[in-house]
A and B are shown apart, each in its own frame.
Chain A
Amino acid sequence: MDTTKVAQDILTIAKRYGVEFCEVVATKTEISLKRIKQGQVDQPPAGEQWGIDLALVRKNRRKAVRFDNPFLGEELIGKMVAQMDLLPEQEIILPTDTFPSVSPRNELFNEKTTELDGEGRMITIKRVIQVLEKHGLFLSGKIAQARGRMTYENSLGVSQTMRFTLACAGLFAFDRYNPSVSAYASSGGISLDSLDTDRILRELVYKCDLARGKAKIDLFAQMREGEELKIDLIGEPYFFAPLFEWMGIFGFNGLFVEKGESFISGNIGNLITGSNVSIKDDPFDPRTQGMGIPFDFEGRPRKTLYLIEKGVARNAVYDNTLAKKYNHIPTGNALSPSFRSQGAVPFNLVIEGGNTSMEEMLANAIRPTLWVTKLHYPGMKHYQTATMTGVVSHGVFLIENGKVIGPVENVRFQESIPEAFKRIEAMSPSRLVFDPLNISFPGGVVVPAMKIKDFRFVGSTNHSV
């Protein structure tokens, strides 16, 4: 049973009930994940998942239902229709656009990666473990793989299907005798072959070696309570990727923009970051490495859309309903039918980078500079200014005069991200970061490492008891 047949069967059933509009997203995914702790598999979640999300419009009423069993369509549609008839009529913005089916994109799919038996990943992991052991390190983290197929169908005749494979490795190295020495690196893409384990190993070993045998510097140890620290920052792409994902959901989302709660609300056409910042939602950028989703969850073919171009806010993203309500053009960023009230989001953020390598950034850091790797627990403190917070971890170092002074205790930042982006001094070439919390759908962010002047930190982790 494939997703297209399931979606078409559901449309057929819905039409029997005389609905004015029906749309179905049917997804089938199989995942296999190995969570590794100290060189052995700690948790092996795996399974097959169906996700069917269906919306019906009938007599000016709309209802959506999600279910995970492809055989339940008939029963649930009957129940939905009976409930809908009891509801008050609403003003419903019905889609009218039809689109040609987009050609299947082979680059989303890798035949070798469809094999989920785990043996391919185990070869990779065994090699990583062996290399790390030679350096006195143990491996923790995860390696995951998935394959899936998604179909969108609606009663206007729109029909889209894609299949995909996914692989990612989010790995941490810890010193065998001192687990406070740690580093993180990840790699992901549509195939197992895209996992750049050589780069991961290089980064893990190098950062752990830098931290070994040195006490962590607590930047706040000598500061007065409540005093803040402004220090230049060099952030790895891993650090910036989640910040951009948050900005995608709460900043470029047309719903937040129209409510006035986004940092680009009322700022379209205005310079809001440094002119060296360009951010687009682009499924076609080759740096997405095949993660570009060809259509959105309304079946609309996707396109390249500049969100910020040379520092100027250009666009937010809209689905059909939001666009018509606020007099915009739908951008190909619709969410699945049950989630439309949350607005629309970018799926493939691409942040243009520069030409400065990480090595050059570090070598050119003359003033005290914090080099950070991973972001833990990001949070939005203030939506209108996109003031965010979070803690940096698993590879934090103080740099001065182009040299690593030593490892640094985890620190918390609080910063208006658009304001910080007015102070970007250097950017590396951009690359895909894909280490999701749920490997079930293509995604990731193409993002550079960046050097930002005077980043604001507000505290550090205190280990004294």
Chain B
Amino acid sequence: MESEYQQFVQEVLWQAKRLGAEYADCRLCPEQESEEIKLENGQITALNSSRSAGFGVRLLMNGSWGFYGSPILKKENIETVVRRAIHSASINSSFQKEKVFLVPRAELWEKEKVGIYQTRIEIDPFAVSLDEKLKLLTSADEAIVQTSKKVFWRIGEIAILKTRKLFACSEGVRTDQTIIECGASLQAHAIAQQGGDIQRRSWPDSHFYYMQGGYEYIKKLELVENAAKIAKEAEQLLEAPRAPSGNRGIILLQSMLNLHSHETVHGFEADRTLGSEWTLAGGSFLTPLLSEIGKFRFGSEKVNIRADSTLEGGVGTFGYDDEGTPAQRMPLVTNGVWVGLLTSRETVPLLNQKIGREYFKQPSGAVRTESYGDWPVIRMTNIIVEPGETDFEDLKDSVPNGTILFGTNKSWSIDDVRRHFTFGTEIAFEKVNGKWEIRKNAKYYGDNLNFWRNCQIVCDEKSFQLQGVGSCGKADPLQVVHTGHGASPAYFSNIRVGAVG
């Protein structure tokens, strides 16, 4: 951390203490930079970049929170911003019935220590020329053109993002983290005839396409090779039968299972479990079960889910969360039993109170913000459905005829306690006489506990895929963060399937 920033955050914390704060933290973003390129039907329709910098101050006074953020990173602005946060806390304290209490940190922070985290990259994506990126997208676009005349809309996108964020708090913690993310995707929209059915295929996904790392990730996506594949599939879908209705065994491919676990694990966020999000993001079916944590059967014994902010390449990977808690691997479900939650320093004591014992010792390090000016909230890090032991090809061979295999996600919705869900996919396959036949407009839906308890097989590490969603929304004002997800394909029995449209 450069001395100018050290002095800046020191001044923020000193002003907060001088004005009466019991605790204060400062999130300072010296620079956030992004670049997006979008090619549609061979033409550049977006060539955007962005730049952001600023600081936000969160503090406790009289046991109440206060907050203020500003993009004006000037020393003379510090006192104004801190005074506004103090004023906010002062007003809020007139309502406070129970003072905010933060669980003590696990370890004393050494004086002068600055916790550093930096994404490991092979190729700096900002150093790769626009020309090279455009050539890649143009080649992929051309591959779609060459493959199908039915594809009338072609989209190729590359996005790169670099965020440097500093954190300092009145307990002495100092961190300095630089995170680089990259993403790319292709879409092929095919139409049968003017005014007719439209079908879409995307690669690797239409919303799960970020990874933490350098431009090497984009190269690994093999956009050109996969462009032809999705163009062909989009055309095939036009003539494909609609998915059948009824109760079936289903296989979810990685991206669909990743989205399903994403929507499920929202219910493992402690703020939802404690009811703080009832009025916005929603609640959790786990709320009335808090006293049963550690023994409640959430899924079949095949289900193991963890939150892991240490995993290389995940967009939920960091050194420290946005309140200075170190990154960690936190089991959420072990052999089907619910064992953990995504927590913050504030929610740990509240949870233990509800559970009736000191179940949680420390926060899971899941507090994140989209930007310096945002209120820190509990978010997913990297949510991993741990691989099992079955080879994917063996699974496909072994499941009965009538099984439906669901591919890339297309639509999603889940109720406000994370129980009743409906998911639609771009593509599906039905096993008929031992062969996998293509189906369109497929959906599966039902009760989420039933879903996880009917998990029969999770495939092995060989088919594991780590992905990153770029559009997870939560908080008010809305914050959009990237969350990581990893899974292998898995088989679930007795799930309701159908078709839409």
Contact = CB atoms under 8 A, between A and B. Distances in A.
B279 A47 contact: no
B279 A170 contact: yes
Contact of A46 (B84, B282, B501): B84
A419 to B, nearest CB: 12
Given A458-B445, A461-B415, A45 B375 contact: yes
Interface string B96-137: 111000000000000000000000000000000111001000
Given A47-B69, A179-B275, A390-B413, A459 B445 contact: yes
B47 to A, nearest CB: 5
Given A91-B43, A172-B279, A260-B198, A69 B289 contact: no
Contacts of B198: 259-261, 383-384
Interface in A5-54: 31-50
B91 A117 contact: yes
Contacts of A47: 56, 67-70, 373
Contact of A43 (B98, B375, B500): B375
Nearest to A1: B72
Interface in B386-445: 411-417, 419-420, 422, 424, 441, 443, 445
A461 B54 CA distance: 43
A394 to B, nearest CB: 9
A176 interface: no
A389 interface: yes
Interface string A60-78: 0011111111001000100
Q: Which of A125, A384, A387, A461: most chain B CB closer than 10 A?
A: A461
Nearest to A460: B420
Nearest to A380: B411
B44 interface: yes
B65 A438 contact: no
A266 interface: yes
A439 B95 contact: no
A226 B498 contact: yes
B69 A48 contact: yes
B22 to A, nearest CB: 16
Interface in A380-398: 380-385, 387, 389-391, 393
Contacts of B134: 87-88
Q: Which of B67, B129, B131, B374: most chain A CB closer than 10 A?
A: B67
A141 B278 CA distance: 8
Nearest to B89: A44
Given A225-B247, A260-B195, A381-B424, A459 B48 contact: no
B446 A45 contact: no
Given A41-B64, A46-B67, A69-B54, A31 B279 contact: no
A167 B46 CA distance: 34
B94 A438 contact: no
Given A141-B279, A461-B419, A463-B285, A40 B98 contact: yes
A65 B64 contact: no
B466 to A, nearest CB: 25
A412 B413 contact: yes
A341 B50 contact: no
> Which size bracket describes the interface of B in this complex?
35 or more
B47 A62 contact: yes
A95 interface: no
B40 to A, nearest CB: 7
Contacts of A391: 413, 415-416, 420
Contact of B413 (A63, A65, A129, A389): A389
Nearest to B246: A226
B97 A40 contact: yes
Interface stretch (A99-107, A190-198, A305-313, A371-379): A371-379
B241 interface: no
Interface in B469-493: 473, 475-478
A333 B453 CA distance: 48
Given A66-B48, A226-B247, A462-B447, A119 B416 contact: no
Q: Which of A33, A63, A381: most chain B CB closer than 10 A?
A: A381
A437 B473 contact: yes
A86 B94 contact: no
A294 B25 CA distance: 41
B245 interface: yes
A465 interface: yes
Contacts of A458: 422, 445
A438 B51 contact: no
Contact of B415 (A141, A260, A410, A437): A410
A387 B68 CA distance: 41
A63 B279 contact: no
A43 B369 CA distance: 13
B500 A381 contact: yes
> Which size bracket describes the interface of A in this complex?
35 or more
Contact of A266 (B44, B67, B195, B413): B195
Contacts of B164: none
B17 interface: no
Interface in A429-464: 437-440, 458-463
Contacts of A410: 415-416, 420
A37 B274 CA distance: 10
Contacts of B87: 117-118
Interface string B175-205: 0000000000000010100110110000000
Contacts of B72: 48, 69
Contacts of B65: 41-44
Interface string A302-346: 000000000000000000000000000000000000101100000
A122 B91 contact: yes
A87 B275 contact: no
Contacts of B247: 225-226
A140 B443 contact: no
A414 interface: yes
B229 interface: no
A414 B296 CA distance: 32
A40 B95 contact: yes
A41 B476 contact: no
Interface string B64-89: 11111111110000000000110111
Interface in A208-266: 225-226, 259-261, 265-266
B329 interface: no
A172 B87 CA distance: 26
B355 interface: no
A218 to B, nearest CB: 11
Contacts of A32: 88
Contacts of B420: 391, 410, 412, 459-462
A317 to B, nearest CB: 18
A86 B129 contact: yes
Contacts of B413: 377-379, 389-391, 412
Given A49-B373, A381-B500, A90 B44 contact: yes
B476 A33 contact: yes
A259 B48 contact: no
Contacts of A280: none
B477 A437 contact: yes
Contact of A69 (B53, B197, B445): B53
Contact of B282 (A376, A383, A384, A462): A376
Contacts of A88: 134
A35 B476 contact: yes
B275 A462 contact: no
A382 B442 CA distance: 11
Contacts of A393: 415-416
Contacts of A36: 95
B276 A440 contact: no
25 contacts: A35-B279, A37-B275, A40-B96, A41-B64, A41-B65, A41-B95, A44-B67, A44-B88, A44-B92, A67-B52, A69-B52, A69-B54, A83-B130, A87-B134, A90-B44, A140-B278, A341-B46, A381-B424, A382-B424, A390-B413, A414-B422, A439-B477, A440-B477, A458-B422, A462-B419
Given A39-B97, A64-B46, 12 more contacts: A40-B92, A42-B276, A46-B68, A62-B47, A83-B130, A90-B43, A340-B45, A377-B282, A379-B412, A382-B501, A458-B422, A462-B449
